[in-house]
Structure 1
Amino acid sequence: MRQILPPDWKTKLRHRLLDLDARLDSTLFSSAKGLRELYERYSTFMDRFYVGRWQRWVFIEPLSEAATLGLGGLIVLLALAIPAFRETSDEDWLKKSDLAVTFLDRYGNPIGSRGIKHNDSIPLEDFPDNLIKATLATEDRRFYDHFGIDIAGTARALVTNAQAGGVRQGGSSITQQLAKNLFLSNERTIERKINEAFLAIWLEWRLSKNEILKLYLDRAYMGGGTFGVDGAAHFYFNKSVRDINLAEAAMLAGLFKAPTKFAPHINLPAARARANVVLDNLVDAGFMTEGQVFGARRNPASVVDRREENSPNYYLDYAFDEVRKLVDTFPKSYNERVFVVRTAIDMNVQHAADEAIENELRQFGRDYHATQAATVVADLDGGIRAMVGGRDYGASQFNRATDAYRQPGSSFKPYVYTTALLNGFTPDSVMVDGPVCIGNWCPQNYGHSYSGRVTLTQAITRSINVIPVKLSIALGGKGGPKAGRAKIVEVARRFGITAPLPDTPSLPIGADEVTVLEHAVAYATFPNKGRAVTPHAVLEIRTGGGDLVWRWDRDGPKPRQAIPPNVAEEMAGMMSHVVSEGTARRAALDGIPTAGKTGTTNNYRDAWFVGYTGNFVCAVWYGNDDYSPTNRMTGGSLPAQTWHDIMTVAHQGIEIRELPGISTAQKLPKQAEKPTMAEARAAPKAPEIKPGPPPVLTRRGADILVQVEKMLDDAAKAADKTSATEPSKPVKPVSSSELPFPDSLAAATPSDQVAPASRKN
């Protein structure tokens, strides 16, 4: 009988694998069979709904495509809506832009205000009915009917603009305009319009129609630095919005479209013409009849004359932006929104800057084909004493001092020479002024000639272009000109230049762009013995109740050592020659050590002078907004003369500080040689005297004059009292011996004062 042996492990493994394979095959077969049966059942069920022939193409296919496109559109809309809804992430979004700031000058005198505050003291019910109707008729007639976007109004505006070949009507609803005012900027981009649309829908969901209208009337910019219709009513008509008549309401409603263009204190005829359009809209919308608006047409609104009010608007705009950035750094738990801010502005210097620029442009702007100018005056701590961002704030609020990037020309060269001194060169180092090329670019000097061997001091005095380019090559060493230019940019960054400064071969001669503000304050590094400072307008911030919350000297950034003091002094010595004997002789101040650098760009598009004393630094720019060339204007012409006029006033009544790096011989004017007898006879009787700062009273002299004024007032009062009792009795005059100053001073007459000579161009 055969014996059955147990299977070995290999046989067992084979059997197990065969069993597993059979089970998998059976499962897959059963699953496929089940799915096939399920699909057949589904097909049988769906066959009941089958639509063929024309019904399919008329109904089914369009619905199917619409569903597909709708789902894709929803996904795209969600992606587009995300950036807009990020603007609403702040739970305090309604207070996001309601800062109310009152600005004071450096001495504590009010100079203006900026910002708005959501003011519920005037409810919507108290606004005049004619103002509400005028606003709706002009800005959004279907405001109470749409969901935030007026589809019909937008389509109408598109058709009208297409027919006119330009922008003639706006399609934005009041809700969209409010969304822009609350969350967005005024830039004209597709992205902004998309965000505006989504935010408008979001506002309609969160707020009622009346709340939206109230916010719009309170927060819209109305020109003249005012926000909201109530502020505008006080500014233009000197009355509350509750008391305005139909003509005034029409004028206010006309400001929403273009407050700068139609501001009545700037252009009253344009404002009245716009108000007449608003009256037409009231009739067209059916809100009023022609008879009801007839009186407003015949008697247009009159406004308060504010032409004499010289508010430093460019300065206030810059200071308000600075305040908003500082408030954003405060703790989120800080809820105060009303502030009183003391700034660094000196209104005497500000008025001098405004007048100097206006006078120069009025007299010589047409000859030089220059229409715009900007200037910044700062102390050596970086505090902005004066700022002019353009010729006329009413015509253009664009601040050319802070927002315009212009080529500095040769006024950029001090950064190049500073880099050279930091790398082993000296003011007496000799370079050869001769042809040089970097690739295909070969710089030329102003006169298309060369001077041969010159020192660095002579090169900066004559504003030679070739030398800075050769310095950039020498500074690069084996790394080439690119490495040299990188060193120059690094030094400019130390000074505080934040402009992009792209690397180009012409960078050493000022082909890149900077702003007037940062260029001016960067120069303060020289008189500060190498310490760079940060430009600022705000000195301290207090709450409406007077509590101090921020102060520059305590909380602001501290000066940083950008270059060694000896290098700053050497540069001051070199740059003083530019004023005393170089391209900026018109900027020279009598008795005040001065240094600086002119700048003129290709085709005379930009003309600069940036200079400094031991007290202040100032930059002046002239040019055109459209970058058109001037008529051969150089930095040594109007910019230098304007700088002289501004700084003359800035140095009145203050202690003149030493300027490190300028020797006594450089500060004092050269002594004139004794004229011969023939020259004396031929000399004119009234020699021309170089204009300079007017005589400055000492503190003791000022006190004496105050005493004199009091004595004269007392004498006048005594005279009045005597005339009332004894009208025939004469009043004894005050003799010079009774005055509280020496006879020599009392005997001085106005003819002893030296009057500035007339300026020659």
Structure 2
Amino acid sequence: MSDSGRRPPRLTATRSAPRKGRAGKGSGKNGARSRKPAARKTVKKAPSRRATPRRRGPAGAVLAFVWRLVWGFTWRVSLIVALMIGGGVAYYYSTLPGMQELLDGRPRGSVTMLDREGTVFAWRGAQFGGAVTAGSVSPHLKHAVIATEDKRFYMHPGVDPIGIAGAIRINLSEGRGPLEGHGGSTITQQTAKLLCLGNEYDPEVYESESAYEASCRQTTLWRKIREALYAMAMEAKYSKDEILSIYLNRAYMGGGAYGAEAAAQRFFGKPAAAVDPAEAAMLAGLLTAPTALAPTNNLQRSRDRAAVVVRLMEDQGYLTQAQAAQALSEPAGLSEAAEARAGGYFADWLMSSTPEYLTRDTTEDVVIRTTLDQRIQEAAEEALVHVFETKVREGSEAQAAIVVMSADGAVRAMVGGRKLRVSGVFNRATQANRQTGSAFKPFVYATALELGWHHDDVVVDEPITIDIPGSGPWSPENYSDNFYGPVTLTEALARSLNIPAVKISEQVGRENVRSVASDFGLESDLADGPALALGASESTLLEMTGAYAGILNGGSAVTPYGIVDLRLKGDDEPLIDNTGGGIRERVIREEAARELIYMMEKVVSQGTGQRARLEGREAAGKTGTTQAARDAWFVGFTSDYVAGVWMGYDDNTPLTGVTGGGLPAEIWRETMLRVHEGLEPRPLPMLRPPPRPETSRQTPRDTRPGDVGETVLEQVLQELFGGGGRR
């Protein structure tokens, strides 16, 4: 039969009813189950555990709601912040130029000064030694910078959260605000700050360059955020070594040096590629406080900081224990040019006497070849120190200045005060206008000789009175308060007699004297009255020394100069060229100059300047002492060099027991002895008249009344005070 019409059988077994006891109800005798079918019951299937909703209490529901709210807010805000960071980074990335354009970031140019031998002795301005890279500098320098400034430099994306957290913790523990003090900045962030986040100086936006620099150093929260974005953009644009290269070139490292190369040359006289561990540690140590830690300001402080850097390098594995021990036992020293700091008074003078656009305000790198002779400079400094240590009482505040030059006006040395190796301080050689006293008298006699007088002409030293309109009668006196009667011009100058000088000045004409002195280079205002002959006018030591150089060279005026040539770095043609020297127009005849030199030689060999005598070498000069001994001078020359010395107090306090023939003459002598070491003596270019017999108009020295004069007075002062007086 066909089964097509039948229902398919159930595949699920019918559930048996539970049994009660061994034989349930309806069982047969034998306990067999009754075959009578039981009533069918509908059984509900238990719901799945997974599908069953868990019922929460009110608190759970609130927590779930809050969680959903916080999570939704967080991921949305995070997305917005991420988009903003990405946008900021992308914006700054688009503004970043090529790496090479960022290496030289100085606000101004530099001035490099060379001495007469072509050796660098001073730098000024923003010195840049040339671009270097992280790969071209000494590995010790690279490691020192990383160990000191950012030990996780190669691991972070421009911002170091660990470093920031540590800095905030330190700031708070020290009682400062979280952003005050330690900043936790990475090298990348510091580089971003050096770049001022890409903002260049605009005079229409900033009041001054200092205001611009202050804006670049802001530490506000918003500024820090922008700095972080800029740093991350730099990390995306440049490699780590490129960022480090920018940093090594732009960082200010003290002493006017911008970048590692300039600093290495400035302090050690070598390229950045050649610095050893001790020098590298010193350079890296400057980055935290370049001005305060500069070795030219405080070498010991700089060395102490370098020792800390050496230990950091050892701890981080950049130096072996032996290398670190050597760097600590042999700390870095300064080059000779660095020892001279910034060139001292001589460099100050050049910077102030040259057009600002080529020196102080230069936007280019300028190289100046100068007249400075460092051997002579050292000689002058040693002489000054020697005299003050041996002849001047301890604690004296008296000052002195020295200028040494050649006969053409080329300045070879300059000392502007007792404090040596300084810069930016008052220069008494060029800035102090002081009365010249009797040091002016050679120009009175130069005028007379030019007008036909001679060295052996006679003038009577006697009391005189001159009526000065508006002031009344004036009676000059000699320093010794004595009168010597008829004296030759030579004797009058040698003894520094006042009355003969005044009488000659009045006879040849004050205007002529003023003209000759001015033509020789005394450009300060010259006195109008008869006291002109006694040095009532003021002048600087540099002017006086230059005027005496005109006498030595045969009567032609000179312009004291310190620049041989000035050119832009890399240029062949100079912008300033003084290779022809400083000799200008003739003032007096050569014969008159030779006669005047003869008279001035007698000042040193027989007169008031005898303490300036140089054994075995001819010298000429003139002493000068002003009223109340407020200023004391000695200016003189040999056939090779001219030197001038001034001594006094800055506040015009009178000197005690000091005249021009005393301590200034001794300083001059000590200077010239050192200057002429190794030089063969040469005769002065002076008149050498034949000996002449005594005449009735010349009274012998040993019988002339009052012949103590200034020379004897000097000897008395020497006995009383030792060395011509102590002050």
Aligned to 1:487, what secondary structure does the other structure show? Answer: helix
User: Structure 2: which amino acid aligns with 1:115?
Assistant: G
Q: Which runs of 4+ in 1 moved over 6 A?
A: 126-132, 204-211, 217-221, 236-247, 269-273
> 1:573 and 2:598 equivalent?
yes
- 2:114 corresponds in structure 1 to 103
Is the 1:496–1:533 contact (alpha carbons within 8 Å) kept by the matching residues of 2?
Answer: yes
Paired AA for residue 111 in structure 1 = F
Distance 1:601 1:348, change over 3 A: same
- Does the aligned pair in 2 maintain the 1:251–1:271 contact within 8 Å? no
Report the identity percentage: 34
**Aligned runs of 1:456-467 on 2, under 5 Å?**
456-467=489-500
Residues 531 and 561 of structure 1 are in contact (CA less than 8 Å); yes or no, is this contact kept in structure 2?
yes
Moved more, 552-561 or 229-238: 229-238
Residue 318 of structure 1 pairs with residue 349 of structure 2: yes
What is the CA-CA distance between 1:498 and the residue it aligns to? Answer: 1.8
What's 1:281 paired with?
A: none
| Change over 3 Å in CA distance of 1:601–1:255 after alignment to 2 | farther
1:577-626 Cα deviation digits (max 9, x unpaired) = 10110011121223322211001112222211101122211111122222
Is the CA contact 1:431–1:456 (under 8 Å) kept in the aligned structure 2? no
How many matched pairs? 470
CA distance in 2, matches of 1:665, 1:625: 46
| Residue number among 343, 359, 382 corresponding to 1:355 in the alignment | 382
Contact 1:434 1:452 in 2 (8 A): no
- Are the structure 2 counterparts of residues 205 and 398 from structure 1 closer, same or farther at C-alpha, using a change threshold of 3 Å? closer
1:393 aligns with 2:431: no
Q: 2:677 aligns with which of 625, 629, 652?
A: 652
Q: Quote the residue 2:393 is aligned against.
A: 366
CA distance in 2, matches of 1:119, 1:348: 26
Letter of the 1:602 counterpart: Q
Inter-partner Cα distance in structure 2 for 1:308 and 1:539: 22
CA distance in 2 between partners of 1:378 and 1:347 (Å) = 13
What is the DSSP-based 3-state SS (H/G/I as helix, E as strand, rest coil) of the residue aligned with 1:401?
A: coil
Distance 2:442 2:634 in 1: 12
3-state SS of paired residue (1:636):
coil
Cα pair 1:543 1:549 within 8 Å, conserved: yes
TM-score normalised according to structure 2 size: 0.54
Distance 1:349 1:432, change over 3 A: same
Q: How does 1:8-87 map to 2 (within 5 A)?
A: none
- Counterpart check, 1:403 vs 2:454: no
Larger Rg: 2
Is this contact kept in 2: 1:496–1:534, CA < 8 A? yes
Which residue identity lines up with residue 608 of structure 1 in the other structure?
A: W
Match of 1:436 among 465, 474, 477: 465
Distance 2:689 2:370 in 1: 35
Measured in 2, the distance between the counterparts of 1:207 and 1:550 equals: 35
Letter in 1 for 2:498: N
The amino acid across from 1:421 in the alignment is L
Please state if 1:607 is matched with 2:618: no
Q: Once the two structures are superposed, what CA deviation does each residue of 1:434-456 show, in whole Å capped at 9, x if it has no partner? A: 24344444333212222222222
Higher relative contact order, structure no. (Cα contacts within 8 Å, ≥ 6 residues apart): 2
The residue correspondences of 1:220-259 to structure 2 (distance < 5 A) are 226-227=256-257, 251-252=289-290, 254=292
Q: CA deviation at 1:561?
A: 0.7
User: Which residue identity lines up with residue 466 of structure 1 in the other structure?
Assistant: I
Aligned to 2:541: 516
How far the C-alpha of 1:408 sits from its partner, in A, is 1.6
| Partner residue, 2:519 | 494
1-structure distance, mates of 2:589, 2:395: 40
Quick check: 1:376 aligned with 2:376? no
CA distance 1:367–1:436, shift in 2 (3 Å): farther
Amino acid at match of 1:389: G
Whole-Å Cα distance in 2 between the matches of residues 395 and 347 of structure 1?
Answer: 15
Match status 1:528 vs 2:553: yes
Describe the SS at the equivalent of 2:539. Answer: coil
In the alignment, the residues of structure 2 paired with residue 501 and residue 219 of structure 1 have an alpha-carbon distance, to the nearest angstrom, of 51
Match of 2:643 in 1: 618
AA aligned opposite 2:433: Y
| Counterpart AA for 1:382 | G
- 1:48-105 deviations in Å (ceiling 9; x for gaps): xxxxxxxxxxxxxxxxxxxxxxxxxxxxxxxxxxxxxxxxxxxxxx999523314133
Looking at structure 1, the residues matched to 444 and 286 of structure 2 have their Cα atoms a distance apart, in angstroms, of 58
Three-state SS of the structure 1 residue aligned to 2:392 is: helix
| 1:545 shift after superposition | 3.7
Structure-1 separation of matches of 2:481 and 2:514: 27
CA contact (8 A) 1:621 1:639 kept: yes
Cα distance, 1:659 vs structure 2: 2.3
Per-residue Cα deviation, 1:634-670 (whole angstroms, up to 9, x for no partner):
111222122222222333334544423242879xxxx
Identify if the C-alpha distance between structure 1 residues 536 and 249 changes in structure 2 by more than 3 Å, giving closer, same or farther: same
Structure 1 residues 580 and 654 mapped into 2: Cα distance closer, same or farther (>3 Å)?
same
Which of 498, 507, 515 pairs up with 1:474?
507
Q: Deviations over 1:257-287 (max 9, x none)?
A: xx99xx214xx589999xxxxxxxxxxxxxx
Which string of whole-angstrom CA distances, capped at 9 and with x for unpartnered residues, describes residues 461-496 of structure 1? 1111222223333334xxxxxxx2x33221111101
When residues 554 and 392 of structure 1 are mapped into structure 2, their CA distance, relative to the original with a 3 A threshold, is closer
Q: For residues 205 and 578 of structure 1, do their structure 2 counterparts lie closer, same or farther at Cα, with a shift above 3 Å needed?
A: closer
Structure 1 residues 235 and 525, CA gap change in structure 2 (3 angstroms) = closer
The amino acid of 1:598's aligned partner reads T
Distance 2:391 2:609 in 1: 18
SS at match of 2:435: coil
The TM-score with structure 1 as length reference comes to 0.52
Paired residue type of 1:617:
V
* Matches of 1:452 and 1:270, distance apart in 2: 67
In the TM superposition, residue 503 of structure 1 has moved relative to its aligned partner by 3.1
* Cα shift readout 1:207-254 (whole Å, capped 9, x = no counterpart): 99799xx99x9799956xx35586679867989999679975565364
Aligned mates of 2:290, 2:544 — CA distance in 1? 40
Summarize the Cα distance change of 1:315–1:120 in structure 2 as closer, same or farther, 3 Å threshold: closer
Q: Select the residue among 433, 443, 461 that pairs with 1:415.
A: 443
- Aligned mates of 1:760, 1:201 — CA distance in 2: 52
| CA distance, structure 1, for counterparts of residue 679 and residue 435 of structure 2 | 34
Mapping of residues 444-463 of structure 1, within 5 Å = 444-463=477-496
Distance of 2:336 and 2:265 partners within structure 1: 17
CA distance in 2, matches of 1:458, 1:367: 37
CA contact (8 A) 2:633 2:646 kept: yes
Partner amino acid for 2:588?
I
Question: Residue type of the partner of 1:589?
Answer: L
Paired residues of 1:119 and 1:218 also in contact (CA < 8 A): no
Contact 2:128/2:258, CA 8 A, preserved across alignment: no
- 2:101 matched residue in structure 1: none
Structure 1 residues 531-574: Cα deviation after superposition (integer angstroms, max 9, x where no partner): 11211122234554472425745566653111111221121111
Judge conservation of contact 2:662–2:723 (CA < 8 Å) in 1.
no
Equivalent position to 1:344, from 371, 395, 411: 371
3-state SS in 1 of match to 2:486? strand
2:298 corresponding residue in structure 1? 264
Deviation at 1:379? 0.9
Identify the residue that residue 113 of structure 1 maps to in structure 2: 123
Q: Deviation at 1:319?
A: 3.4
Unaligned runs of 5+ in 2: 1-104, 134-141, 151-192, 194-200, 219-226, 231-245, 269-274, 306-327, 692-721
1:284-323 equivalences in 2 (<5 Å) = 304-306=332-334, 311=340, 312-322=343-353
Contact 2:601 2:621 (8 Å CA) reproduced = yes
Cα offsets for 1:412-447 (capped at 9, x unmatched): 111122123334433213233324344444333212
Instruction: Give the structure with the larger helix fraction.
Output: 1
SS in 1 for 2:551: coil
Aligned partners of 2:524, 2:494: CA distance in 1, in Å?
Answer: 26
